[in-house]
Structure 1
Amino acid sequence: MTIAIGDKLPAATFKEKTPDGPVEITTDELFKGKRVVVFGVPGAFTPTCSLNHLPGYLENRDAILARGVDDIAVVSVNDWHVMGAWAQSSGGMGKIHFLADWDASFTTALGLQADLSAGGLGVRSKRYSMLVEDGKVKTLNVEDMTSQATVSSAATMLEQL
């Protein structure tokens, strides 16, 4: 079953690359008592993710934070090395969290997994965005196609804030 507005996020532990190496970050650490924008992507360095989805959130970071958001995170079914390299190459390191859902456990618990095996990618995430307040989903925007980044875009999220 897919997570819905009003649902509490499932407990999960992500890995994130920092200048000091990898750290684990739990959903409680990231969301408890905070207002956080999260967006999920099928894969770091993939065309739509790198050329459209991520840049929108980086460009609109300050505007999103100015609307009472405490943090922004991107989640992908990749390992922390790949997510760290993506953070570094995109200029996003230290600006938003690049969270590795390496085994797709969080993505699957959300019910937002996508089988992209036909394209050689295996199980990945659907493309989505959500506003989470104190661990509960307040808005949820899921793309019909992983190649699209309109419903889950930073511009849409700004309108919803």
Structure 2
Amino acid sequence: MSGLSAGDAFPEGVSFTYVAPTGELDITACGLPIQYDVSKEASTKRLAIVAVPGAFTPTCQVSHLKSYIENLDKLKAAGVDQVIFIASNDQWVMAAWGKANGIKDDSILFMSDPVAAFSKSIGWVNGDRTKRYALIVDHGKVTYAGVDDVRGSIENSGAEALLAKL
């Protein structure tokens, strides 16, 4: 498969792992991984799925995640039920990234796409890492799919791009 496009059905059998937020911002505290059935959740909700090459990496940290934190209320007001960040990092690194950025609840979930399996299945990878992309999945249908191929760009995958399509 080469990417996803608006109008496509979200694939079946997609799951990620994450560590549930505990309300604490201690990045050294670990929890047990939880399986998140994205396909099931996407069938009944409007999800924003945001893929990044890696937690704590320059563009991902400085501008990409920041765009979602700053626009979270607008995304929720526009009907997004859940914002999910994914990377090929493990679930503990992803949880620490959320905590390091002050996220201590489920307002944004930070999940692992182990070995970039989902991203590979849609062809949006760069080696062993996900490309920078964003999807809006509304009750099982992709309504927006944007990928950034220019290094450092969040033009198609930042929160502003999604808000323009909601």
TM over 0.5: yes
CA distance in 1, matches of 2:70, 2:42: 23
Counterpart for residue 14 of structure 1: 16
How much does 1:13 deviate?
A: 1.7
CA distance in 2, matches of 1:135, 1:91: 30
Question: Is contact 2:15-2:39 (8 Å) kept?
Answer: no
- 2:85 is the counterpart of 1:84: no
Could you report, residue by residue, the CA deviation over 1:86-134 in whole angstroms, capped at 9, with x for unpaired residues? 011011232211110122111111211112xxxxxxx101111121111
TM-score, scaled to structure 1: 0.89
CA distance in 2, matches of 1:109, 1:6: 18
Could you report, residue by residue, the CA deviation over 1:29-59 in whole angstroms, capped at 9, with x for unpaired residues? 4312111111110000000000100011011
Counterpart for residue 51 of structure 1: 62
Listed as ranges, the gaps of 5+ residues in structure 1 are 116-122
Moved more, 26-35 or 49-58: 26-35
Counterpart for residue 71 of structure 1: 82
Question: Is contact 1:12-1:27 (8 Å) kept?
Answer: yes
Counterpart for residue 5 of structure 1: 6
Counterpart for residue 128 of structure 1: 133
CA distance in 1, matches of 2:81, 2:39: 14
Counterpart for residue 114 of structure 2: 102
5 Å-filtered alignment, 1:131-150, equals: 131-150=136-155
Aligned to 1:106, what secondary structure does the other structure show?
helix
- Of 140, 157, 160, 1:155 maps to 160
TM-score, scaled to structure 2: 0.86
Question: Is contact 1:127-1:143 (8 Å) kept?
Answer: yes
Please tell me the residue identity of whatever aligns with 1:127: R
Question: Is contact 1:126-1:146 (8 Å) kept?
Answer: no
Question: Is contact 1:2-1:112 (8 Å) kept?
Answer: yes
CA distance in 1, matches of 2:9, 2:111: 19
- Over the aligned positions, Cα root-mean-square deviation in angstroms equals 1.4
* Count, aligned residues: 154
Listed as ranges, the gaps of 5+ residues in structure 2 are 23-30
CA distance in 1, matches of 2:155, 2:103: 20
**Identity of matched residues, %:** 34
52 and 149 in structure 1: CA distance in 2 versus 1, 3 angstrom threshold: same
CA distance in 1, matches of 2:64, 2:141: 23
CA distance in 2, matches of 1:135, 1:51: 31
